[in-house]
Amino acid sequence: MDLSVSLNRLQLKNPVLVASGTFGYAREMESLVDLSSLGGIVPKTVTQAPRPGNPPPRTVETASGLLNSIGLDNDGFDQFVAEKLPWLLSLDTAIIVNIAGKTMDEFRSMAAVLQQHAGIGGVELNISCPNVSGGVDFGTNPEMAAAAVTAFRSECEHPVIAKLTPNVTSVVPIAQAVADAGADAVSLINTFQGMAIDWRRQRPILGNVLGGLSGPAIKPLALRIVWQVAQAVQVPIIGIGGIESLDDVMEFLVAGASAVQIGTANFYRPGLSAEIVQQLPDAIRQLGGTGPSAVTGTLQIPDRSAARCGPAAGSR
């Protein structure tokens, strides 16, 4: 089966990617995963200037999830381009560089440099990290989110993905805004803001107090947002949130995603993504499909209007 998918200008050999912040810069996983089997790799977010990240503790396990407050710890954009990117581009899979900027000028500056590297598959704009000041503001405002996409596209022709936050009343208007600004796809979703408390010490557990919740606990919420955006906005969706099995992947596809990113599961089952790629064809055939796009957005909602309008069961 041909598992390839097209997300506007972004071409992937299959719809299974690994999410930023959960796979390092891929070299760490080289001995554990057949990297060439993946549809794409999204390395750790990089920022214009180096960042030390947030104070520890930075992670804490929760019920069916993980709270993290890394704070975009990285060595900076220049070091990434010089030392990490050449090796990444030698891999036989799509590399989706993930960047975060404090200002529109930073997005433009990084875009101009990335434009010079033809082998990049696409760029994911992290405008939604809940663990740093500034970045999340872009993703909570439709105009600012669109401006970030516009700023990037003014300097770079690579396909661009907007990674959106769930920490808003509705993601739909923000997804519409970035789509109108020219985003090739949207990643749904980044983590939910949360916290953990040591009540005996009467202190927050995370050094930054708040963190982002990921893992299986958020899957129902992520599915809901993917479905809502798919119903309202004509833009390809990359589903993210709590995926740890083939069934989870198929749920996201049926809900409206064209591709998925596997995140937290990489920490405890690094080979999962490659396993799912092998399992996908049989699952797609079960739905009568010939490829991933044939099952995307095929969720059937029962028509309950007649039941609502008619007499209640047992009424006289």
40-77 residue pLDDT tens: 999 999 999 999 999 999 999 999 999 999 999 999 99
| Residue 134 banded pLDDT, cuts 50, 70, 90 | very low
Q: Average pLDDT, stretch 91-98?
A: 98
| Beta bridge partners of residue 160, listed in sequence order | 123
Q: Spell out the domain ranges in the chain.
A: 5-309
Q: Which amino acid is at 61?
A: E
Residue 280's pLDDT is: 98
Average pLDDT, the chain: 94
Please list the residues that pair with 87 across neighbouring strands: none
pLDDT band at 135 (very low <50, low <70, confident <90, very high): very low
Taking residue 129's Cβ as centre, other Cβ atoms within 10 Å add up to 25
What backbone phi and psi angles, to 5 degrees, belong to 274?
-65, -35
Render pLDDT for 165-200 as a digit per residue (tens, 0 to 9): 999 999 999 999 999 999 999 999 999 999 999 999
> Residues 287-301, buried b or exposed e (16+ Cβ, 10 A)?
eebebbbebbbebee
Tokens standing for residue 175: 């997804």
The mean pLDDT value for 86-91 works out to 98
Confidence of residue 128 (pLDDT cuts 50, 70, 90): confident
Q: How far apart are CA 22 and CA 271, in angstroms?
A: 13
User: What pLDDT is recorded for position 316?
Assistant: 43
0.85 cut: is pTM over it?
Answer: yes
Q: What is the pLDDT of residue 171?
A: 98
Contacts of 15 (CB under 8 A, 6+ apart): 3, 5, 39, 249, 253, 257, 258, 259, 260, 280, 292
> What does the DSSP assignment read for 10-49?
EEESSSEEE-TTSSTTSGGGTTTS-GGGSSEE-PPPEESS
The count of other CB atoms within 10 Å of the CB of residue 203 is 10
Q: What is the mean pLDDT of residues 98-107?
A: 95
Percent of the chain topping pLDDT 90: 92
Q: Which CATH number fits domain 5-309: 3.50.50.60, 3.40.50.720, 3.40.50.1820, 3.20.20.70?
A: 3.20.20.70
Does residue 79 have a pLDDT over 50?
yes
217 phi/psi in degrees, rounded to 5:
-60, -30
In degrees, rounded to 5, the angle at the alpha carbon of residue 89 between the alpha carbons of residues 45 and 293 is 80
Q: What is the predicted pLDDT for the residue at 256?
A: 98
> Could you list the active site residues?
129
- Give the model confidence (pLDDT) of 251-289 as tens digits: 999 999 999 999 999 999 999 999 999 999 999 999 999
pLDDT at residue 314, rounded to an integer? 47
**Residue 312 CA neighbour count, 13 Å, CB half:** 2
Whole-angstrom Cα distance, residue 101 to residue 78? 14
Residue 306 in this model has a pLDDT that exceeds 70: no
* 127/131: higher pLDDT: 127
104, 147 Cβ separation under 8 angstroms: yes
Nearest CA-CA partner of 244 in 267, 212, 211, 226: 267
Cα–Cα distance between 20 and 124 in angstroms, integer? 9
List pLDDT tens digits, range 9-35. Answer: 999 999 999 999 999 999 999 999 999
For the segment 307-315, the average pLDDT, to the nearest whole number, is 51
pLDDT of amino acid 313: 46
